[in-house]
């Protein structure tokens, strides 16, 4: 029997628009850490979809910059199934700000590939509950899936 602390768990990972330009290297980082990807797709968020995905941040000063960034090009989203997937993936990506990541977690993905606090290349759900919501957002169990491209966003 597995220990509670080793529970199999799912999380939502995302390679953000600037990360897609470094796709091969970032996928390498994912696989060399042993993460198992069970679903994956490329899509574009329009502004309404981005608002919904990042709803919790709507009152933050960085909200508009975040929406501009996340709608600036295609993203890649994936489901990770692993023991402690939420925490392990968050640890692999590192702190939000890549410059801080380079100090406290120099081997993390954001430390190596992040540009600045907005353009930080990757996303990870911050809790098991967020993971359920975010996986349902991109991989709905019923109803229509978000289109792979959207004329409403900056993706063409």
Binding-site residues for ATP, in ranges, read 16, 62, 90, 96, 110, 120
If the CB atoms of residues 6 and 55 are measured against ligand RTP, the closer one turns out to be 55
The residue (of 6 and 23) whose beta carbon lies closer to ligand RTP is 23
Question: Which of 39, 126, 139, 149 forms a contact with ligand RTP (CB under 6 A)?
Answer: 126
- Among 99, 95, 77, which Cα is nearest to 148's? 77
Length of the chain: 156
Distances (CA, A) of 106 to 33, 62, 94, 98: 15, 25, 9, 9
In 21-155 the beta strands, taken as DSSP E runs, fall at: 37-43, 75-83, 122-124
Q: How far is the CB of 1 from ligand RTP (least distance, A)?
A: 32
Q: Which stretch binds ligand RTP (CB under 6 A): 43-51, 78-86, 118-126, 140-148?
A: 118-126
Question: Residue 90 Cβ, how far from ligand RTP at the closest point, in Å?
Answer: 7
Site for ligand RTP in 43-82 (CB under 6 A): 57, 62, 66
The torsion angle over the Cα atoms of residues 38, 34, 75 and 41, rounded to 10 degrees, is: -20
The answer to whether 111 and 98 have CB atoms below 8 angstroms apart is yes
Residue from 38, 96, 103, 148 in contact with ligand RTP (CB under 6 A): 96
The reply on whether position 98 binds ligand RTP by CB under 6 A is no
| Cα distances (Å, whole numbers) of residue 85 to 28, 51, 120, 127, 145 | 17, 25, 20, 10, 24
Q: Applying CB under 6 A, which residues contact ligand RTP?
A: 57, 62, 66, 96, 117-118, 120, 123-124, 126
């Amino acid at each position: 029997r597995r220990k509670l602390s080793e529970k199999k768990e799912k999380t939502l990972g995302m390679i953000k628009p600037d990360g897609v330009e470094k796709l091969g290297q970032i996928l390498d980082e994912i696989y060399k850490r042993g993460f198992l990807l069970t679903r994956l797709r490329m899509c574009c968020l329009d502004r309404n979809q981005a608002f919904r995905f990042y709803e919790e941040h709507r009152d933050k000063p960085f909200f508009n910059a975040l929406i501009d960034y996340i709608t600036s090009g295609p993203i890649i989203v994936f489901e990770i199934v692993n023991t402690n997937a939420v925490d392990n993936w968050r640890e692999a990506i590192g702190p939000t700000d890549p410059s801080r990541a380079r100090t406290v977690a120099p081997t993390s993905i954001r430390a190596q590939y992040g540009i600045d606090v907005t353009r930080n290349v990757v996303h990870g759900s911050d809790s098991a509950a967020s993971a359920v919501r975010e996986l349902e957002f991109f991989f709905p169990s019923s109803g229509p899936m978000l289109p792979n491209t959207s004329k409403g966003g900056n993706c063409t």
